């Protein structure tokens, strides 16, 4: 029996906000698109799952894989880049497995993670995450066509500049944003290059059941200095410089190849971006306020 997929208004709204009015037709055709992939990949869609701003995600029964996740996006480039990264992590138990892909049509088939709980919604320790962070540090995949880390830096700060307009006026903020962007541009030119997740934080790591353990999901991948992927873990919830330094030391000591001074420099350079992201949602957020003071120096 065919399962009809009804996209909630809230999901449609976030896709239109992310991709513009052109996404309306894609949303209108979603049910037919799901049916097409269900027929082609032997899937029976079961339910829509929570997703970010650029995709629709469904839990499915699969003839071949038991359960699986069908991830669809209006932007084929997003699917292409994610598929490239997941193939680069083939065999890495801390990355979600790619089962099939048709990136030209914006479709990925991913393994189903049993009893998933996002780290951001649970208690976790940095020591627990270190093996995942170390395992994801793989070389750049042969022949991979991915954005450079310099491209990712520009994306981050372009997004931050837009979000900064949602904050009360701060006369020093434009200068901090320009300085942070310039520092990140310089850092992006160095370091040992490899595959970078690009959006690696507690919201994009899942603790799965049945012994699966910690698994990274939803990469925004690029190629360059892998130190970038450690910044959110060094600064998560940090409200004083001593804690930031202790976390940088723990990561540098626990992960082979990490340059302590380079990680510290990335943390300082990205502090203003983190501050803007937090304070636009919660103006009194202690973590965000410390990040802003720290960036201000």
Query: In a 10 Å sphere around its CB, with 0-12 CB exposed, 13-18 middle and 19+ buried, how is residue 233 labelled?
Result: buried
Residue 70, helix vs strand vs coil: strand
d(CA 205, CA 116): 10
Count the neighbouring beta carbons within 10 Å of the beta carbon of residue 21. Answer: 7
- Cα–Cα dist 195/213, whole Å: 22
Q: DSSP string of 42-69?
A: TEEEEEEE---SS-EEEEEEETTTEEEE
DSSP secondary structure code for residue 168 in this structure: P
For residue 114, what are its two tokens?
């049993």
Q: What angle do CA 146, 151, 154 make, to 5 degrees?
A: 155
φ, ψ (nearest 5 deg) of residue 175 = -65, -40
Point out the catalytic residue in the list 9, 63, 171, 199. 199
Q: Is 97 a catalytic residue?
A: no
HSE-up of residue 283 (Cα within 13 Å, Cβ side): 5
Residues with catalytic annotation?
Answer: 199
């Amino acid at each position: 029996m065919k399962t009809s997929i009804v996209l909630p208004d809230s999901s449609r709204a976030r896709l239109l906000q992310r991709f513009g009015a052109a996404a309306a037709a894609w949303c209108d055709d979603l049910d037919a698109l799901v049916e097409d992939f269900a027929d082609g990949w032997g899937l029976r869609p079961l339910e829509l799952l929570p997703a970010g701003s650029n995709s629709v995600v469904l839990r499915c029964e699969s003839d071949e894989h038991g359960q699986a996740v069908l991830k669809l996006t209006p932007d084929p480039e997003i699917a292409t880049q994610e598929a490239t990264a997941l193939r680069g992590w083939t065999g890495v138990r801390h990355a979600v497995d790619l089962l099939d892909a048709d990136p030209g049509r914006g479709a990925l088939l991913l393994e189903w993670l049993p009893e998933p709980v996002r780290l951001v919604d649970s208690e976790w320790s940095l020591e627990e995450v270190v093996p995942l962070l170390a395992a994801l540090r793989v070389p750049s995949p042969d022949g991979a066509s991915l954005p450079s880390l310099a491209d990712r830096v520009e994306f981050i700060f372009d997004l931050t500049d837009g979000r900064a307009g949602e904050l009360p006026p701060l006369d020093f903020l434009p200068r901090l944003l320009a300085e942070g962007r310039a520092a990140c541009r310089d850092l992006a030119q160095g370091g040992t290059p490899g595959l970078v997740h690009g959006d690696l934080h507690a919201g994009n790591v899942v603790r799965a059941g049945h012994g699966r353990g910690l698994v990274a999901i939803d990469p925004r991948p690029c190629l360059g200095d892998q130190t970038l992927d450690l910044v959110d873990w060094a600064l998560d919830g940090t409200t004083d410089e001593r804690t930031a330094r202790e976390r940088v030391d723990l990561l540098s000591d626990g992960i082979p190849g990490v340059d302590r001074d380079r990680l510290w420099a990335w943390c300082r350079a990205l502090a203003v971006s983190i501050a803007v992201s937090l304070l636009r949602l919660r103006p009194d957020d202690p973590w965000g306020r410390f990040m802003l003071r720290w960036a201000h120096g």
